[in-house]
Chains A and B, each alone.
Chain A
Amino acid sequence: MSLDVRAAAGSHAPPRPRREITTAFLVSRVVVLAVAAALLVYAAPPLVAAGSWPALVVLGLATAAIAYLYLTRRFIPAKYLIPGTVFLIAFQVFPVLYTVSTAFTNFGDGHRGDKQAAITAIETGSVRQAPGSPEYSLTTALKGDRLVFLLVDPKTKQVQAGDPAGLAPVPGAQVGVTGKVLRAPGFTVLTAPQAAARAQQIAALAVPTRGGLIKANGLSRAVEGRSALVYDARCDCVQGEGDRWKADEGQGYFVNATGAHLAQGWQVSVGFANFSRVLTNPTISGYFIGVFGWNVVFALASVGATFALGMAVALALHHPRMRGTRFYRIALILPYAMPSFAMLLVWRDMFNRDFGLINQLFGLDVDWMGQPSTARFAVILVNLWLGFPYMFLVTTGALQAIPRELTEAASIDGATPWQGFRKVTLPLLLVALTPLLISSFAYNFNNFNAIALTSEGGPFPAESPQVGATDLLITYTFRLAFGTYGAQFGFAASISVFIFAIVAIISAVAFRRTRRQEEVYA
């Protein structure tokens, strides 16, 4: 991606001493600046409300920088370079940094929020109705401009007013058939819409009683309850139900003496624990070599097969005596134009043993996705079908750039067509296409959809249900991180870091080799 940006910037921005001001120039500047300003106006209030001052400063500086950059006549290369750089930061650098930082936390199910949120959840989650307390029916009212609860005991029909000071009897109140207070001297009864408008205040009002607190439960009922579990800041622990759970900042849980923890936890930094888990967990390290080996085979076979087929078709259509090339080209691009998601699912059903098209068409009885070898063959075949139009397209493009004189000259010199292809066309093609082949390898190395939507990693041997014959590293670890015990984002992030490192190393080595090759043929 960075390559493209550099190339674009280099070719499009020749230094120009003075630029005449055209209408288009003026309009484009006004539009850009207006959009930048609009985004500032749009994004600033939420940031202010959330109190994210650093983000606000970054936003302000970025807007100011854009305004300056596109108002000045200087920095012409930067005008072209900046958009690409911003995209690079937003979509490449930031996600990578965010993933890496997540890898050092226990972020995941049970550890999504902070400690305060966990405490709130524990306390509100343990509120139980006070035993024997009445199911008050609730009417909200105003006394002056203060909100009060008018509580009716359904059994005794006694009316009491509740406010933060406590309960007080209300003489002379008139109660309707539904249990709602219709009129009460000294109070202004709120209608349903008026009460709904004050929903936040109603939620906040708690009437203290001897046994706990009376809180609204919706707009028409109130319940006397008490938190069974209460956080105590002095001991940094949660107490109640005859037990005590102490905060453990290493795990992000409240843990009791026996080692059991409360369900609600919070996000903490766990250092290298996720990474060491990847390296030491026997279910991961034990199968790593096998999965990695198949993963490399899958990626190489996908790239090799799609390239071979795509190139063969491109060469055939490139032949000067070929007729109807336009029609063939359209037909060949079809698989590429169809959504791969749907196609993968269709292919999966075609490989079904009893109902699939393939067995019915060829009169076979092969359990394609049920045996390791056939399942592997099937997923590569599907990937070939999905992938070759791309290779066909890029090869067709690259072929146009190879002068026909070269192959003609070779044939005059006595080369067979095969020799001409092998010694002239292919090397020149590879110079142009190797970077694409490498990126295709990296893509297929992590081709989650191609596996997850067809074989789902299977077939799985009965003895080891965790790893299937067609599992790639990405599908296998996805299952470990998300399939087994809720979402474990921190752990998943650490696995991504490993896979990132593997792909980066392979790609770097391959690019280095390509450069040497280019030096030979350039």
Chain B
Amino acid sequence: MRKRALGVAALTSLALAATACGGSQPGTPSAAPSGSAAASSSAPADKGSGKLVIWADPNRVKALKPFAEQFGTENGVTVEVKEISKDNQQTFLTASQQGSGPDIMVGAHDWIGNLVQNGAIDPVNLTDAQKAAFPEIAIKAVTFDGQVMAAPYAVENIALIRNTKLAPEAPATLEDMVKKGKELKAAGKVKEVLCLPVAQKGDAFHVYPIFAAGGGSLFGTTASGDPDPKKVLLGSPDSVKAFGKLKELGEKGDGALKTSITNENYVASFAGGKCAFLISGPWAMGDVKKGGISYDITPVPSFKDGKPATPFVGVQSFFVASKGKSKTLAQEFVANYVTNKDVAKALYAADPRPPALTEALQEVGATDPDAGKFMDAGKNGLPMPAIPEMQAVWEPFGIAEAAVVKGGDAAKAAEAAQKAIDSSLKN
């Protein structure tokens, strides 16, 4: 009995010893960030650790590793590629602030606004020749307030993917597509008219091309052509009309848009032959190919006499962390090393998102036509607004979409979304 009591005592004291450290930490959180930030920014004489740390999502870690290692041997430094799988942007911001962040972050261009307002990234200086190697839309997407803030490597947008066995002809208009889908459904060949995720909370990203085709828009533009957060247009008469179009396509109308179709089931349904049309991006192609159906990729069509159905374009990019410990190496890697077509091709092989470099895209396109087709579909797309204010738009927009899809009043839904966004932006 005594021995056991002693064992318990030993265990608890171990725990105590462990927490003694934790218990004494409380003093540090407030003191450490400023201390370490000062150490990294004002004391660059601190001897170079010769180490470059890159954070990326799981898909890309494997593709990056060989290139990171090559860069490491060329420059005599160790390069560590670390996998971050959840809440990447917030994880990066929090870690950066504490001084434990990476030197290079891989992420989407629409983070830029938020990363800039938190002072987390530095501009990336690309030469004119380097800029010319990218399509205009990629450079436009990573340009914020007149400064290039990241090096783009992949461009992704959604397109219309159709089952060519069920629907041999690419529909010229959205009306044609719905008509064809309904015919197939009536004939019992498919279960759903269109596979586009809506879900109970709406999906602003996927519905945007149809919303734009109906004439809707999110923001006005500033003098420099950037989205203007002071002018939210979701409640404008044109947008109300667009919401009306979504209502017509919705559950009480054509049944093309349904809240039961969600991000979890829409690609699987298409791959399983349950619908002839899918609106999705390059990330869906793995599952589509596994389904073994014949398919083609075309731009999302517009309504008859409608506006262009512009999808959002997202640009995957490399960022240089401003609180990183080896900024020179990070600049070298991002501005001069990663903007090379072999890296772009390897990243494409790991995760098929069309490479941003025009040259790499052409080479990839020779063996895989999908990449070029997606690129074509996004040619006139809208780079996802990178301003931090965009975060206030996603959810109200989605909920308004879900409301009209369920048959709610378009004007009321648009007005409520506008009001919600304006109140959180304090317009």
Contacts and interface: CB of A to CB of B under 8 A. Distances in A.
Interface of A: 12, 22, 24-25, 27-29, 31-32, 35-36, 39, 42-43, 47, 49-52, 54-55, 58-59, 62-63, 66, 70, 79-80, 82-83, 86-87, 89-90, 94, 98, 109-110, 112-114, 116-118, 120-122, 124-129, 135, 192-204, 216-221, 223, 225, 263-265, 283, 349, 352-356, 367, 369-370, 455-456, 458-466, 479-480, 483-487
A200 B27 contact: no
B24 interface: yes
Interface string B1-34: 0110111111011111111111111111101111
B395 A465 contact: yes
A192 B328 CA distance: 12
B406 interface: yes
B336 A200 contact: no
B392 interface: yes
A201 B406 CA distance: 62
A220 B332 contact: yes
Please name the 7 residue pairs, one residue from A and one from B, whose CB atoms are nearest each other, closest first.
A193-B76, A121-B119, A28-B10, A218-B332, A55-B27, A462-B403, A462-B408
Contact of A39 (B3, B18, B35, B334): B18
A83 B118 contact: no
B123 interface: yes
Given A24-B7, A94-B26, A486-B388, A349 B45 contact: no
B355 to A, nearest CB: 22
Contact of A196 (B23, B77, B117, B262): B77
A485 to B, nearest CB: 5
Contact of A98 (B9, B26, B412, B424): B26
A121 B427 CA distance: 26
A113 B99 CA distance: 11
The residue among A127, A194, A200 with the most chain B CB atoms within 10 A of its own CB is A200
Interface stretch (B46-54, B170-178, B303-311, B367-375): B46-54
Given A83-B16, A192-B76, A199 B259 contact: no
A218 B328 contact: yes
B18 A192 contact: no
Contacts of B88: none
A118 B48 CA distance: 25
B114 interface: yes
Interface in B41-82: 41, 44-48, 50, 74-77
A28 B50 CA distance: 42
Contact of A465 (B90, B123, B260, B399): B399
A194 B75 CA distance: 8
Contact of B76 (A109, A113, A117, A197): A197
Interface in B386-427: 388-389, 391-392, 395-396, 399-400, 402-404, 406, 408-409, 412-413, 416-417, 420, 423-425
A149 to B, nearest CB: 12
Contact of B16 (A86, A128, A192): A86
Interface residues of B, number: 108
Contacts of B122: 124-125
Contacts of A466: 396, 420
Contacts of B74: 192
A91 B147 CA distance: 44
Contact of B412 (A129, A196, A462): A462
B108 to A, nearest CB: 15
A125 B143 CA distance: 12
B35 A219 contact: no
Contacts of B157: none
B167 interface: no
A117 B259 CA distance: 45
Contact of A464 (B118, B334, B416): B416
B17 A263 contact: no
Contact of A199 (B200, B326, B403, B406): B326
B16 A203 contact: no
Interface in B134-164: 145-147
The residue among A87, A196, A355 with the most chain B CB atoms within 10 A of its own CB is A196
B16 A82 contact: yes
B93 A109 contact: yes
Contact of B48 (A197, A483, A485): A197
30 contacts: A32-B16, A32-B17, A39-B21, A58-B24, A59-B20, A66-B16, A87-B15, A94-B26, A109-B388, A112-B118, A117-B37, A120-B41, A128-B146, A196-B76, A203-B327, A216-B331, A218-B333, A220-B332, A263-B113, A283-B423, A349-B262, A349-B264, A353-B258, A355-B269, A458-B200, A458-B399, A460-B403, A462-B409, A464-B416, A484-B420
Given A50-B32, A217-B331, A486-B114, A199 B48 contact: yes
A243 B300 CA distance: 44
A197 B424 contact: no
Contact of A89 (B8, B23, B258): B23
B127 interface: yes
Contact of A113 (B33, B146, B336): B33
Given A223-B125, A354-B260, A466-B420, A66 B17 contact: yes
